[in-house]
A and B are shown apart, each in its own frame.
Chain A
Amino acid sequence: MPAHDVLIIGAGLAGQRAALAAADAGATVAIMSKVHPVRSHSVAAAGGINAAINVADDWRSHAYDTVKGSDFLGDQDAIEIMCSEAPKEVMHLEHIGVTFHRNETGELDLRAFGGASMKRTAYVADITGQAILHVLYEQIMKYSDRVDRYEEWFTTSLVLDDDGACVGVVARDIRTGVMETFSAKNVILASGGAGQCFKPTTNGLICTGDGIAQAYRAGAPIMDMEMIQYHPTTLVENGFLITEGARGEGAHLLNAAGERFMEKYAPNKMELASRDVVSRAEQTEINEGRGVGPNGEGIYLDITVVPKKRTLEALREIVNIGKDFAGVDITAEPIMIRPGQHYIMGGVKTDVDGQVPGVPGLYAAGEVACVSVHGGNRLGANSLLDTLIFGRRSGEHAAARAAGLPMPAASEAQMRDDAAEIASIIARPREGRRISEIKDELGTTMNDNVAVFRDEAKLQHAHEVVRRLKEEAKTAYIDDRGTVFNQDVLGAIELGYMLDCSEATVVAAIERKESRGAQFRTDYPERNDDEWLKHIDISRNGDDTPHISYSEVTFTQWQPEERKY
């Protein structure tokens, strides 16, 4: 049985950073991912990474912007750690080879981003996530004698010992169908978000909430799950992301009357207000009949105001996306966008070292986790930072913790259960619904009812649908009977993960009877600090229903105030 001090599930930015940090700290490390590491969804992060590296900047300013962006739901101790450690982390990335754009004097160039009080976003054109991910993978290749890689291995369960500590995982080699139990002194979940619960989404097909559901099923609390970020600029056509970097470079948002309507909603920051604010503004314009396009369901993003040469150099990817996926030359004409599901602020509850309360040996970092640094709304270019800072801290902490522990031997009972479950899915008779139909209905329901504007009736409807789909999923059938690259059976398992995540999201959204950050309840349109300045934690009851509890928000320097941009 393979055994490691630190086993990391997921090989995006958080996972790879954790692996390198744990290896540097002397631990034996393995990194496991259901896709090849460079396919991880971190690759799609476009705009950049925030850090107060300008000499005129201060990390406290970055931290305050983040607290305000979170609508005061973010935990300030964690935010302070993230922002104060950011400059060093960005320099580290630079040293290992990330090709950050430079200014005319050869130092790191910075661009403007939403919700930030000054330019503090370091970037590589608009492929920042790709550049960092590929450079981290260069380092993982360099560390090949110190970091074992299980690429294209699908984790099915966490393994707990009798005391409830996490001592390993069960996984399936996608290429061969072989199931194996892995022992580990510590497991770090870094398996990303759950955007596929929504349709459309900017997220890749692999973002199915695996880690969130695995931790939830193992008894870990998940937090802030109602906070779903709708990105202000996704293509009307198909939901693809247009980077916030476009607005950072100066692009305008226009309604059908050709007005820069952000004047009404955020007169100071205009297009560069927080994402929740901009998305709500757009949705309001659309709902009130000032949208553009044949059905009035879009908003114009006008990038032609950015000098063409700059667009071609710094926003090249969206020039291609406009051309290839919408048939629009963004350097010559505006492009139609609207708010679209992009990120989940919530996830597996952790402390500032990535440790999951109540499950010793289990860590989480990146989008799968909720530290919570993003609270009710994440600032653009803070997600890459979150993955790297808390990925590294988890890796370091897990390595240190491993040093004092004997290697556990994970029981193989879980593997037998998971193998039997997979066999039973494969053997299901061809009656009931197809997995793809259920997934489709889930995504559409979530997007129609748990989006920018919510109310009790919509949320209750979504809840009923999710409960029904959970039942239907139990008998849904698949076609592939094979063992080699049986993506069909993995899709059935992923659907289960998505349903768990969706249920938690809906339940939390029903529970929070106020409007804060990304959660806007038309039936409770005000922020209510007296009753709701707290996190909603969800854990799993024995009978597979979500159990709600609350936890305090941590304050250090900044008291809640009215939030205006």
Chain B
Amino acid sequence: MAEFTLRLRRYDPESGAAPYWDEHTIDLEPHRSVLEGILQAKARFDGSIGIRCSCKAAICGSCGVRINGQPGLACHTHLDHALRGARDGVIEVEPMGNMPVIKDLIVDMDAVHWKKIHRVTPWLINKEPIPEREYVVPRESMVDITQSMACIQCGACVSDCLSMEVDPLFVGPAASAKAYRFVGDPRDAQQFERLQDLAEDPHGIYDCTHCFKCIDACPKGVAPMSQIMRLRRRAGNDHHIKDRNNGERHESAFVTLIKDYGLLHEAELLPRSYGGDSWFGKFHPKAGAELLDSLPAITKAVMRRKVSIKGALLGHKIPKADLNAVQRIYKKIEGRDERLELNLYITGYDEDVDGAETPPATAATGAGQPGAEPGQPGQTPEGSPSR
């Protein structure tokens, strides 16, 4: 047994008072969860502490909170682990972000999370005719979407989504993962329509800024950002959807610039995002407007030395050998017959790697979970094909 102090963010909507902090010292084995700590405080000291919870085993998705500022499930965070992340020896628990607080640690998920889930037409639109028995589909396709199906709708990713903070209308990580569950499902009849809808929506899949926060936040390894990237690949590469927001061209501008120069060429990025890779693309009227619009940001970046004028205009020089190395990676990836998609359930492991002590390198496409423990499935290391 050990003592832990919990500092809970309390809010009583009926009191008319502002939220406040409330401390309780509890007594539990260090590997017990923060939820069990809160439940002990509730049982022993104050039954009015509000928190949704049920299964205690990271399946029901009720107890999403922020612990020391990090979103996650209270039942899925050990007390000793939480203590290591505490600033002053006290474990701080707050309600999730990006959603209105109802009481104490309870937030209004309907107002944000579920509304966004509804936004993506979250049900299967069957391919016709519906067979008498099951749809016969590739084994891998079902294992693949099981990663999205593993989402428990806890809202931790929504809590921490930076894009949603800036654009509350952004469809967001959880709903995007839900969308992939249908787009990746061979039984669904409207994959193109779903993708077009999410690509054309200015608050859709191209609104994500790849900050990885949702991947960090997800307690189930769903890696919502990876699902967003998959949606983009399906939209752009498979269905050739050139969206009105230039999301697809913007992304491909990054890809070709890195391929050509090894590093980002900032002055080229903007025109290519509108005009594509053609030389005339530079004079796309929208590119000019965007340039004018972006001048304050560009100026700020120059002032803060995030970028030099010379570097931005002329591109960055890297040694020829390095450029060749970058281009070899492109060649290897583009040379594959089939796009390698990373997946939680399909792993590169087999008996032969038993006892591997080092975590696989986090793959460039970003399905890996930073901080993953050795031996944890969830990443397919590049170079060890999963199928």
A residues at B contact (CB < 8 Å)? 35-36, 38-41, 43-44, 53, 91, 94-97, 99-109, 124-125, 127, 130-131, 134-135, 138-139, 141-142, 151, 175, 204-206, 238, 240-241, 307-309, 312-313, 316-317, 319-321, 323-325, 327, 329, 331-332, 434-437, 440, 478-488, 491
Contacts and interface: CB of A to CB of B under 8 A. Distances in A.
B261 interface: no
Contacts of B145: 99
A240 B52 CA distance: 19
Shortest 6 CB-CB contacts between residues of A and residues of B: A436-B43, A480-B48, A97-B124, A204-B54, A479-B47, A488-B47
Given A141-B123, A316-B377, A479-B47, A484 B55 contact: no
Q: Is chain B's interface secondary structure helix, strand, loop, or mixed overall?
A: loop
Contacts of B53: 205
A241 B57 contact: yes
A484 B135 contact: no
B47 A435 contact: yes
A485 B133 contact: no
Contact of B185 (A99, A106, A127): A99
Interface in B44-83: 44, 46-48, 50, 52-62, 76, 78
B124 A94 contact: no
Contacts of A104: 139
Contact of A206 (B14, B54, B137, B151): B54
B48 A479 contact: yes
Contact of B134 (A94, A329, A437): A94
Given A36-B109, A131-B149, A484-B103, A309 B375 contact: no
B31 A327 contact: yes
Interface of B: 12-14, 31, 42-44, 46-48, 50, 52-62, 76, 78, 102-104, 106, 109-110, 117-118, 122-124, 126, 130, 132-139, 141-143, 145-146, 149-153, 181, 185, 187, 344-347, 349-351, 354-355, 373, 375-377
A35 B345 CA distance: 29
Nearest to A143: B123
B56 A204 contact: yes
A24 to B, nearest CB: 15
B55 A321 contact: no
A323 B376 contact: yes
Contacts of B130: 95
Contacts of B59: 43-44, 127, 130, 317
7 contacts: A35-B62, A44-B57, A91-B134, A102-B138, A124-B142, A312-B349, A440-B43
Contacts of A151: 110
A348 B14 CA distance: 39
Given A44-B60, A205-B56, A316-B345, A101 B143 contact: yes
A102 B136 CA distance: 8
Contact of A321 (B57, B136, B185, B345): B57
Nearest to A489: B47
Contact of A43 (B55, B350, B355, B375): B55
Contacts of A479: 46-48
A107 B136 contact: yes
A38 B122 CA distance: 14
A12 to B, nearest CB: 11
Contacts of B124: 96-97, 135, 138
Contact of B142 (A102, A327, A331, A487): A102
B377 A105 contact: no
A312 B60 contact: no
A309 B349 contact: yes
Given A106-B138, A307-B351, A480-B48, A127 B149 contact: yes
B347 A312 contact: yes
A139 B53 CA distance: 24
A312 B151 CA distance: 17
A384 to B, nearest CB: 15
Contacts of B375: 329, 331-332
Nearest to B132: A91
Nearest to B376: A323
